Amino acid sequence: MPAAVLEVFAGAPLAAWLALSLLNQVAGGRWRWFARLTASGFIPNWRFFAPRPGTSDFHVLYRDLLISGEMTQWVEAPAAEARPAVAALWNPGKRPNKALFDLCTVLFETGRGLDHTRLMLSTPYLAILNRVNSMPASSLAACRQFVLMATYPDRPQSEAEPLFVSGFHEL
Amino acid sequence: MERFLWAVEFLVGVGVIVSSLEFLRARAHYRSGGLLSWEVLRYRLALTARPVPGELTERMFSDTGLTAIVAARIAGAAILLAPAVWLGEPWRIAGLGLALLATLLLYLRSPYGLDGADQMMLIVLVGAFVSHLASPDGWLREAAVWFIATQATLAYLAAGIAKLVSAQWRSGQAIPAILSTRAYGNPLAHKMTRDRRWLAFAVAWSVIGFEVLFPLVILVPHESARVAFLGFGVLFHLTNAVVMGLNTFVWAFAATYPAIAWCGGEF
């Protein structure tokens, strides 16, 4: 096969990738098939912190239903690591922080369009449930429930906003 | 073009090593019971949800397997740090190929938690890899460098336009609000911009102006203006690293600058 043809084969994916990247900036989220494609993470969305900047902190809380029928207090699942003083060079906590942000965002957004059964089988739901269920539990606990909360630190007067409440799951 | 490409590969090599070491440090989140446990995330894709490829990936993405993938990524990136006269073309292709393959596996493992720096590093690795596969005097080598430069320019322009159409950004309110968050905030910078609205306004419009005008960096005819613009870009990312903890963006986006500088010179 001539080198020129091989070069076309190697160059075409670059052109396609660039075209899809451009399309994602101007029409991202408009079509379901395209949203599925961008969910892979390969097609970049370059609209950093815009047009609606992320101004909230997400929190995952859980509580247990005891065998006696009583309910425990809500407990916050530990957040990702705090940012180190040398974060300009070394910031390993940003990946789990971003993962929690991504999962909460997808769960909150898809949660509005799915019935409860399908939602409970979605990856973000299962990932957060798996994390919450790995937290220690009393031997008297029968089921666990979690809630996603958003707080707005720049608005100290505003209350924490519940974004999503799960069902109860057996421990 | 060779020295520009070497600079691209050196900078992305550093970025890949830093992000890989950070990945290793945070790998508890990828273990069983972690937020990104493969026991759950494998059901994200129809292919890995099936028993046969699923079991294979169980081994590949086990704690040991994942560590090996990240170690291979570091080894590939380390080759890119060597001067081109020490390690020639075959070594560089091997280094880029190894780093690229490991990066693709990490994408398969979990897109959750990846950020714009990861995406830009993938773009740079692919562009640099293709440039080495092309014949030295062929069009594809130049096209691969243009691919890196165009993606970077698109990134800044898209980010700038998205901010320009946002009332929160135009008013400057977005700055203290973002800086108040746990993930990207900074208590001192938050207090400064919350108490001085003019400062938040100035910061917001500096960011918007820089990002929207970024494509000019390729169009300006003077090399000194191009260097000054790219220098401002480095300063922009360093500031974001210090204030917001976006450290890998420095390496990922600076890696595109030699490609942009070459394209600007050719334009």
> CB-CB: which of B37, B135, B176 is closest to A154?
B176
pLDDT at residue number A156: 77
B-chain CB neighbours of A101 within 8 Å are: 183
Confidence band of B119 (pLDDT split at 50, 70, 90): very high
Q: How far apart are CA A37 and CA A24, in angstroms?
A: 10
Could you tell me which chain A residue has the CA closest to the CA of B240?
A88
Could you tell me which chain A residue has the CA closest to the CA of B130?
A10
Query: Which of B18, B39, B112 to mutate to probe the A interface, most A CBs <10 Å?
Result: B112
Q: Are A39 and B111 in contact (CB under 8 A)?
A: yes
| Closest alpha carbon to B1 in B122, B100, B144 | B144
Q: Are A163 and A150 in contact (CB under 8 A)?
A: yes
| A7/B162 Cβ within 8 A | no
Q: Is B50 helix (H, G, I), strand (E, B) or coil?
A: coil
Confidence band of A1 (pLDDT split at 50, 70, 90): low
Query: Which residues touch A43 (CB under 8 Å, ≥6 apart)?
Result: A17, A20, A21, A24, A37
Q: Are B19 and B118 in contact (CB under 8 A)?
A: yes
Q: What does the pLDDT look like over B17-68, one tens digit per residue?
A: 999 999 999 999 999 889 999 999 998 888 888 888 778 888 888 889 999 9
Q: Give the pair of three-digit tokens for residue A26.
A: 């101007």
CA distance A16 to chain B (A): 11
Q: Is A127 helix (H, G, I), strand (E, B) or coil?
A: helix
| A95/B26 Cβ within 8 A | yes
pLDDT at residue number B195: 95
pLDDT at residue number A131: 92
| C-alpha distance across the termini of chain B, in Å | 14
B-chain CB neighbours of A41 within 8 Å are: 107, 111, 114, 118-119
CA distance A45 to chain B (A): 8
Q: Mean pLDDT lowest for which of A104-118, A135-149, B116-130?
A: A104-118
Q: How many CB pairs under 8 A join A and B?
A: 209
Question: Average pLDDT of chain A?
Answer: 88
Q: Across the strands, what pairs with A59? A: A149
Q: Give the pair of three-digit tokens for residue B168.
A: 């929160």
**Phi, then psi, of B44 in degrees rounded to 5:** -70, -35
B-chain CB neighbours of A14 within 8 Å are: 126-127, 130, 143-144, 147
Regarding beta strands A141-151 and A75-76, do their DSSP bridges make them parallel or antiparallel, or are they unpaired? unpaired
B-chain CB neighbours of A152 within 8 Å are: 177, 180
